[in-house]
């Protein structure tokens, strides 16, 4: 479904991704872990099409197509979804209003009929159960005054409504208490299917107790330095990132 080859990206003059290689098949859940500043979130944003990151080398093939050539909205319509670490607050636009515009843009792209208000609301009601969203919440201006947990639930709720093939969750667990974390994880698990793939980006192993990954990758300094099964996450939890840093530095000694 997704093939990332030698991906390099920079912001301004700072190179952040320095050769990412990653292959994700339908049905798989990949966890991407790493310390702060390692490039996890940059990877997520580059995949979603954020223009402030400049891709300097490499390619990303999604469903046989060149993902990097597509503007963000086309990626969304092709089935790529990013759950933001910091969802934006937009006063004056309700979640339902904006989401209906998104759903119909995506449906149109896929050759489906646009949903009318009644069908849309019926679908929304169904998806709200996914993360125990409150009706009042989605009628309010998008994320305005939402708690951290409400914002994250709203992201997963949107994922449910937009029905992507590839979901990228960028630190969806950050700032959540254990109850909120369980709700979010339940939502994500309900969404797993053989037709879908997920990239779960997280700093902590905690989330992976609830969302069990098929593969775990560790990003460090803009590269994937270690890949393994779910046991790798536990190892990281136990030992921290420092032992990996040491290992990487031994493997690739920096010239002083």
| Residues lying near another protein in the complex (CB under 8 A) | 48-52, 71-73, 75-77, 81-82, 84, 87-88, 90-93, 98-99, 101-103, 105-106, 109, 141, 158, 162
Which residue's CB is nearer to another protein, number 49 or number 58?
A: 49
Min dist. Cβ of residue 82 to another protein (A): 5
Smallest distance, Å, CB 94 to another protein?
A: 10
Q: How far apart are CA 116 and CA 2, in angstroms?
A: 33
Using only the alpha carbons of the chain, give its radius of gyration: 18
Q: Is-contact 8 223, C-beta < 8 A?
A: no
User: CB of residue 240 vs another protein: minimum separation in angstroms?
Assistant: 32
Length of the chain: 256
Could you tell me the smallest distance in angstroms from the CB atom of residue 84 to another protein? 7
The secondary structure of 72-136, three-state, reads HHHHHHHCEEEECCCCCCEEEEEHHHHHHHHHHHHHHHCCCCCCCHHHHHHHHHHHHHHHCCCHH
If the CB atoms of residues 84 and 215 are measured against another protein, the closer one turns out to be 84
Nearest CB to another protein, comparing residues 81 and 220: 81
Picking from 7, 42, 6, 14, the residue whose alpha carbon sits closest to that of residue 171 is: 42
CB 51 to another protein: min, Å: 7
Least gap, CB of 133 to another protein (angstroms): 16
CB-nearer residue toward another protein: 78 or 221: 78
Cβ-contact 140, 113 below 8 angstroms: no
Q: Based on CB atoms, which residue is closest to another protein, 35 or 72?
A: 72
Asked if 228 contacts 216 with a C-beta cutoff of 8 angstroms, the reply is: yes
**Six token digits for residue 39:** 């490039």
Q: Which is nearer to another protein, 88 or 251 (CB)?
A: 88
């Amino acid at each position: 479904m997704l093939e990332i080859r030698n991906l390099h990206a920079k912001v301004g003059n700072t190179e952040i991704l320095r050769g990412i290689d990653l292959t994700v098949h339908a049905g798989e859940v990949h966890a991407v872990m790493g310390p702060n500043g390692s490039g996890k979130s940059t990877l997520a944003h580059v995949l979603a099409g954020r223009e402030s990151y400049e891709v300097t080398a490499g390619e990303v093939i999604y469903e046989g197509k060149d993902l990097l050539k597509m503007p963000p909205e086309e990626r969304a319509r092709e089935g790529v979804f990013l759950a933001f670490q910091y969802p934006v607050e937009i006063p004056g636009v309700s979640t339902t209003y904006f989401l209906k515009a998104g759903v119909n843009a995506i449906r149109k792209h896929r050759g489906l009929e646009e949903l009318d208000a009644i069908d849309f609301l019926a679908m929304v009601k169904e998806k709200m159960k996914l993360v125990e969203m409150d009706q009042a919440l989605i009628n309010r201006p998008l994320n305005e005054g939402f708690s951290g947990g409400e914002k994250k639930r709203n992201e997963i709720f949107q994922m449910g409504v937009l029905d992507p093939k590839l979901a990228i969750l960028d630190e969806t667990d950050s700032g959540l208490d254990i109850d909120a974390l369980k709700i979010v994880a339940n939502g994500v698990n309900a969404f797993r299917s053989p037709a879908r793939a997920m990239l779960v980006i997280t700093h902590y192993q905690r989330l992976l107790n609830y969302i069990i990954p098929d593969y775990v990758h560790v990003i460090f300094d803009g590269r994937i330095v270690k890949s393994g099964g779910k046991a790798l996450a536990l190892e990281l939890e136990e030992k921290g990132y420092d032992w990996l840093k040491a290992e990487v530095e031994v493997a690739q000694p920096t010239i002083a």
